[in-house]
Structure 1
């Protein structure tokens, strides 16, 4: 049986672990990135010189770009995908963009005879490698089934949310909670340390308690060890999701007391020059604010 070739346009922080999983599943993976392609090649991927070259070799094409502008560049630019795809192609969009943008691009893809599916990743790059991330899928059920061998190679946990555009809304809800939970983990760890516990003991006990959460399990150990770089999820990346999640909440008229309390901390981290550190570094801001409010003993409080 011939080996299936998967194309990837965008093999950076998130695209590389996705490509690694595809290679581990014995797919042949070709990819395009303007620079820093060495890690992809070291994993066994084949680097090509343009998005059009990727389309020429692969029926399944995954696009994983950081923003709408970058996505448009690989779709419309010289040797771009739009002029290179046809009825044999299925495009799986990994990037997170606004629903209206995704739907416009899907329409343009369909005009070429190809089909589009969105696959939003919920989880950090390291969670992708460990197969602990989830895929939120938006698109026709028959296309999901057609792409299933590729999707299964990326992640074990998958949810078909609905039509194209629905998955991004679910991703924003997940990141809405991620923002709140990460700040809550930082608050709890800081509280415990000031109460006299070691950060290591707090991580071990709380992660197995009723108060634990996925984000506590993932990020509290990073807070305890002060391992903020290299960053699996930097503030600078979360910034886009915070903005889009806030827009969704406002559009739907939702009360958002916890999100609105958490949001300024993550924006402040960027303003204070730690935007490239992992969002677990939000604990540094909590600690700084705690020092501004010195501990009061019970006797003094009485």
Structure 2
């Protein structure tokens, strides 16, 4: 696995706990991985040479280009028929370009978009949206089963990213709705912890409410399982998806500016549950 950060590391741990031998490479602080059971490689090519299945979970397109295309990178070391599972979220056009490069070198590539926060990944309750051939999905089943019990074959390679963007589109809407409800409950005199508990078990609850209402009640915004800086990419790509489709988006159009305001307010490293602070400032 290459890319053992906030999201990649719990994926790696799940694989190790399922009995897989995992070789990994991380540029910063690689020795921190030893206690997790990751066997440290000294370079990208070493990971590729030892892997039957290569997983990539990188933070952005530039990092992906460097890992794939640089001298001594993935493409230089890729073995014929080797499987590459792409776990990162990029523009569809970029993903297709990268997949073509892998296939030209004889590799086989599966798109696996992760829908869920790092704690959800750790608990194996996150979902994977898969793009690629049904045959390859079946071949990767033992690896997918180790990561999570919830995965869905969406269609051809490149189709899964659209589903991921729809999911994160809703993350923004639901988190702001959660903040609005929590702020209202507190202003009406209710203990915020009670609001989080009661609403979370009723018809008004949601996955985001279950995760983020307790964080709002406890004012626990750092360390952030899902910081504003991470959501920014999904807001931008989600906006492009909406514009390209021509779909009406009244709720997303209302929600997205709050998260951009949070980024502009230097709240970027806080969890997106901290959006409640903006609503509190607006309240009379």
Normalised by the length of structure 1, the TM-score is 0.93
* Structure 1 counterpart SS, 2:74: coil
* RMSD (CA atoms): 0.7
Matched residue, 2:199: 206
Q: How far apart are the structure 1 equivalents of 2:223 and 2:10?
A: 15
- CA deviation map 1:11-58 (0-9, x unaligned): 000000000000100111001111122332110101111111101100
Q: How far apart are the structure 2 equivalents of 1:233 and 1:48?
A: 28
Contact persistence 2:183–2:279 (CA under 8 A): yes
Q: How far apart are the structure 2 equivalents of 1:160 and 1:87?
A: 24
Contact persistence 1:30–1:45 (CA under 8 A): yes
Q: How far apart are the structure 2 equivalents of 1:69 and 1:102?
A: 12
Matched residue, 2:55: 62
Matched residue, 1:288: 281
How far off its partner does 1:88 sit? 3.4
- Is 1:193 the counterpart of 2:220? The answer is no
Contact persistence 2:89–2:113 (CA under 8 A): yes
Matched residue, 2:78: 85
- Is 1:259 the counterpart of 2:252? The answer is yes
1:233 to 226, 249, 271: 226
2:242 to 238, 249, 260: 249
Contact persistence 1:59–1:88 (CA under 8 A): no
Contact persistence 2:49–2:79 (CA under 8 A): no
- CA deviation map 1:34-93 (0-9, x unaligned): 112233211010111111110110010000001111100000113100111022310000
* Structure 2 counterpart SS, 1:121: strand
Q: Which runs of 5+ in 2 are unaligned?
A: none
* Structure 2 counterpart SS, 1:9: coil
Matched residue, 1:45: 38
Contact persistence 2:111–2:160 (CA under 8 A): yes
1:180 to 160, 173, 178: 173
Q: How far apart are the structure 2 equivalents of 1:201 and 1:229?
A: 22
- CA deviation map 1:189-218 (0-9, x unaligned): 000000111001101100011000000000
Contact persistence 2:110–2:130 (CA under 8 A): yes
Larger radius of gyration: 1
* Structure 2 counterpart SS, 1:83: helix
- Is 1:123 the counterpart of 2:153? The answer is no
2:213 to 186, 200, 220: 220
Q: How far apart are the structure 1 equivalents of 2:56 and 2:24?
A: 10
Matched residue, 2:100: 107
Q: How far apart are the structure 2 equivalents of 1:66 and 1:170?
A: 19
- CA deviation map 1:85-124 (0-9, x unaligned): 0223100000001111111111111111110001000000
Q: How far apart are the structure 2 equivalents of 1:36 and 1:25?
A: 25
Q: How far apart are the structure 1 equivalents of 2:264 and 2:221?
A: 17
* Structure 1 counterpart SS, 2:222: coil
